[in-house]
Amino acid sequence: MAASETVLRVPLGSLSQSFYLASFFVNSTPNLSFKPVSINRKGVRCTNSHEFSSVSNSVARGHSFHSSNCSLKGKNFVCKCQKHDVEESIRSTVLPSDGLKSDLDEMPLPVNGSLSSNGNAQSVGTKSIEDEAWDLLRQSVVFYCGSPIGTIAANDPSSTSVLNYDQVFIRDFIPSGIAFLLKGEYDIVRNFILYTLQLQSWEKTMDCHSPGQGLMPCSFKVKTVPLDGDDSMTEEVLDPDFGEAAIGRVAPVDSGLWWIILLRAYGKCTGDLSVQERVDVQTGIKMILKLCLADGFDMFPTLLVTDGSCMIDRRMGIHGHPLEIQALFYSALVCAREMLTPEDGSDDLIRALNNRLVALNFHIREYYWLDLKKINEIYRYQTEEYSYDAVNKFNIYPDQIPSWLVDFMPNRGGYLIGNLQPAHMDFRFFTLGNLWSIVSSLATNDQSHAILDLIEAKWAELVADMPLKICYPAMEGEEWRIITGSDPKNTPWSYHNGGAWPTLLWQLTVASIKMGRPEIAEKAVELAERRISLDKWPEYYDTKRARFIGKQARLYQTWSIAGYLVAKLLLANPAAAKFLTSEEDSDLRNAFSCMISANPRRTRGPKKAQQPFIV
């Protein structure tokens, strides 16, 4: 599309995009303001502008580059970045902070908005693993018109095919963002939150179909493109991918949920609530909620999604109601409830949110929970029960209980199963979903301890030589062939199919600190430290005991680096885990006990009137 075709797309539905974008001016905080972006199929153009007097710290330190190419429009400086200016700006805007020595002087020049990785395979020398990790994390920072806005997924100089690992993934940035927050470097997180908000719910189409308004992209890339009408100039463009280019065209359902979680962490950590209170940010939260809370055909309060809609972004039999999405959904609802400012017209949304929280909480705690007692119950289930007071509500056939489960389940401990559908329980253990259920208090206090008990009891299986298995066990043989579609990347005990992902360390750390058992995370971090730096921070490990660097694992994977750093920072300052955790409040607790006592599983007999619970 030529410049003259630049369009401002106005979405259908109650929230108009023009209002949405206009709110950037109305409510922009002093540090960063936005001019209406030029929107076209290619993405957001670098028409962001920085108010000169009060730009964010890192930009302020290097703002000399702006002056040559910025013009004053209204109260904003609109910058067109010439290629060499952008490079200079990156050098001048990344400054060592918090007394940390920076290696920037030795750094290669940036490529496509990120810092090039040539210098990555540095020897650790006398540097601590933590120092090395900080250097690597800083080298993965991506800039947009001089401002840090995210981190690339991997910075692997040995990799011949980049695929989309040079992009900023929303989910991958979360540990990076938390690490920066814990280090007191807030700008990058704030910029990430505000720029990704600009990308939200664009009309990106796949074969004439557009995803729902409110969807956050899976990833985005900073592209440098020639400026329309002036070949000597370039401009930077933010190009989002909502799944329409991703392998398998998977929908990034988790992105918006993580965005809300990070937004709340930003407010808690910095004490700066002005970001979450902005009208545009409030609108962004509501759009995500509307998308998630929209009525559909579903019978369950859990969120219905397609396969590969979260960290496991390939076909792995996790379509339907996978635990990871439910835990993030619950967490996002709790965080949003905390952040939403009541205003006219939001009553219905808040009511829907509260009702969903209660129903979701009950559903997961009751029907996803598995321990020895529950397995025995399922083993003795009657089937084909037609009635309101059925015990085996989902008509699970006991023969589904897999043989591995009987050995796997310890006497003490339990976990939330991977998925629940009519006549189907996915008994696999999924780590992220279980850990985030602890973090968000989706699991009860007893269940949370039991999940950690299980991780301790099954250390050799789940933590093994390198923390932490993404799921357990792997699918093999015919099951692998049918469920993954013979995926050569997800072979047994590799990648998503039972591979070990060091990034999960930070989630283990938050969960174990929340439950007052940090020694679990300490042990896992110690184990990781034996190899992770020598192995060059791989994306994942393969084999049953996680002994090999993954077959196709990227090296210098940013969220492996950031996950390790967050674990270290939190273990050194456990109180900071509160920025991420949520405690169950008394309203939810009461609603849950009411529902428990009305549950036919415990009281067979005449049907009780079901009350809607409004918190």
Verify binding: residue 172, ligand GLC, rule CB under 6 A. yes
- Number of amino acids touching ligand GLC (CB under 6 A): 6
Three-state SS string over 359-385 comes to HHHHHHHHHHEEEHHHHHHHHCCCCCC
When the beta carbons of 58 and 434 are compared against ligand GLC, the nearer one is: 434
Q: Is the peptide bond before 473 cis (omega within 30 degrees of 0)?
A: yes
3-state secondary structure of 206: strand
Residues 135-154 touching ligand GLC, rule: CB under 6 A, are 153
Which of 20, 144, 169, 472 is close enough to bind ligand GLC by CB under 6 A? Answer: 169
**Is residue 187 involved in binding ligand GLC (CB under 6 A)?**
no
Binding mask 303-322 for ligand GLC (x = CB under 6 A): --------x-x---------
Residue 172 C-beta: closest distance to ligand GLC, Å: 5
Within 10 A of 400 (CB to CB), how many other CB atoms are there? 14
Contact predicate 181/266, CB 8 Å: yes
Residue sitting closest to ligand GLC (CB): 153
**Beta carbon of residue 153, minimum distance to ligand GLC (angstroms, whole number):** 4
Q: Does 432 bind ligand GLC (CB under 6 A)?
A: no
Query: For residues 109 and 163, which CB has a smaller minimum distance to ligand GLC in the complex?
Result: 163
Three-state DSSP class for 234? strand
| Integer Rg of the chain from CA | 24
Question: Of 18-26, 62-70, 168-176, 595-603, which segment contacts ligand GLC by CB under 6 A?
Answer: 168-176
Kindly state whether residue 171 participates in binding ligand GLC, applying the rule CB under 6 A. yes
Give 269 or 474: the residue with its C-beta nearer to ligand GLC. 474
Q: Which stretch binds ligand GLC (CB under 6 A): 101-109, 134-142, 165-173, 513-521?
A: 165-173
**Least distance in Å: CB of 612 to ligand GLC?**
37
Which residue, 34 or 165, is less far from ligand GLC as judged by CB? 165
CA atoms within 13 A on the CB side of 548: 11
- Minimal distance in Å, beta carbon 219 to ligand GLC? 7
Cα distance between residue 352 and residue 145, in whole Å: 40
**Smallest distance from the beta carbon of 556 to ligand GLC, in angstroms?**
12
Distance from the first to the final alpha carbon of the chain: 49
Distances in whole angstroms, Cα of residue 232 to Cα of each of 43, 225, 229, 255: 21, 11, 9, 37
Q: How far is the CB of 218 from ligand GLC (least distance, A)?
A: 7
Give me the least distance between CB of 510 and ligand GLC, in Å please. 18
At 7 the three-state DSSP class reads strand
- 172 or 426: whose CB is closer to ligand GLC? 172
In the numeric block, the tokens 């393969």 are attached to 542
DSSP structure string for 124-168: -TTS-HHHHHHHHHHHTEEEETTEEEEE-SB--TT-S--TTTTSE
Q: Closer to ligand GLC by CB, 132 or 172: give it.
A: 172
Place of tokens 């592209």: 223
Query: Taking the mean position of all CA atoms in its chain, how far away is CA 338?
Result: 19
Q: Please give the residue ranges that form the binding site for ligand GLC (CB under 6 A).
A: 153, 169, 171-172, 311, 313
